[in-house]
Amino acid sequence: MLAAEPHQVITAKTLKELAQCIKIRIIVFTHEQQFPIEAELDEHVKDTLNANAAHFLLQSTPSLMPIGTIRACKFTSTQITENGLHSTKTYYKLTRFAILKEFRGKHLGEALVHRLHEWVLEDAAKDRLQTLDGTSATVTIIAHSQIYATGFYAR
Ligand SMILES: CC(C)(COP(=O)(O)OP(=O)(O)OC[C@H]1O[C@@H](n2cnc3c(N)ncnc32)[C@H](O)[C@@H]1OP(=O)(O)O)[C@@H](O)C(=O)NCCC(=O)NCCS
């Protein structure tokens, strides 16, 4: 369903945009949900070190007020198969999904997840995650969310 609230989702590229994502995470996870600030700070350090993380910022339009965020982290793991061949798997983890309280329940969460899915597909295509016969390979997206939010991701 399309969100009725005017909005746009951008990929956070500048420090200012990244800071706006982090501010929303602190409002939601630290202040509202009472998770320790250390948990959030650890995540900031990981973000700084992880060049493979993409951050998305949801903005109300036309004001461009930041109202939500989500992060995709990309991982690759290489395993040696029984035949001694290398098999590389790429997967994406969906994390730090948050929308300011007053903007929830308006299908803006769906808009963020939709943009993240588009980005994953674009990124996977760039990495030539295509099978040789041209059919697309499976892309794995993992959501280790707080348990009560799993219903949301299942949609
Ligand atoms: C999770 C969150 C981002 C969802 O944002 P939202 O804008 O309210 O979600 P939407 O309006 O797009 O919801 C789309 C659908 O998912 C459902 N849904 C939303 N949040 C849900 C949740 N926590 N659990 C189960 N279903 C959920 C909605 O009911 C809606 O269903 P409907 O189409 O039948 O009405 C928001 O509730 C939030 O910020 N929560 C606090 C932070 C959090 O818990 N984040 C997730 C863990 S990382």
In a domain, 122, yes or no: yes
Greater pLDDT, 143 or 39: 39
User: Does residue 127 line the site of ligand 1, with CB under 6 A?
Assistant: no
Whether 44 is in a domain gets the answer yes
Q: For 8-24, what is the mean pLDDT?
A: 94
pLDDT band of residue 1 (cuts 50, 70, 90) is low
Contacts 24+ apart (CB under 8 A), 101-107: 101/28, 101/32, 103/5, 103/60, 103/67, 103/68, 106/3, 106/4, 106/5, 107/1, 107/2, 107/3, 107/4
In this structure, is residue 1 part of a structural domain? no
Q: Residue 136 is which amino acid?
A: S
In ligand 1, which atom is closest to the CA atom of 95?
48
Please give the residue range of the domain that contains residue 68.
Answer: 7-154
- Tell me, yes or no, whether 38 lies in a domain: yes
Q: Does 138 reside within a domain?
A: yes
Q: Residues 67, 116: contact at Cβ < 8 Å? A: no
Structural domains counted in the chain: 1
124 CA to centre of ligand 1 in angstroms: 26
Please write the tens of the pLDDT for every residue from 91-137: 888 989 999 999 999 999 999 999 999 999 888 887 765 544 444 55
Instruction: Tell me, in angstroms, the distance from the centre of ligand 1 to residue 144's CA.
Output: 15
CATH number of 81's domain: 3.40.630.30
Supply the DSSP symbol for 90. Answer: E
Q: For a ligand 1 pocket test, name from 152, 153, 155 the mutation site with the most ligand atoms within 8 angstroms of its C-beta.
A: 152
User: Which has more confidence, 73 or 155?
Assistant: 73
Tell me if 134 is assigned to some domain: yes
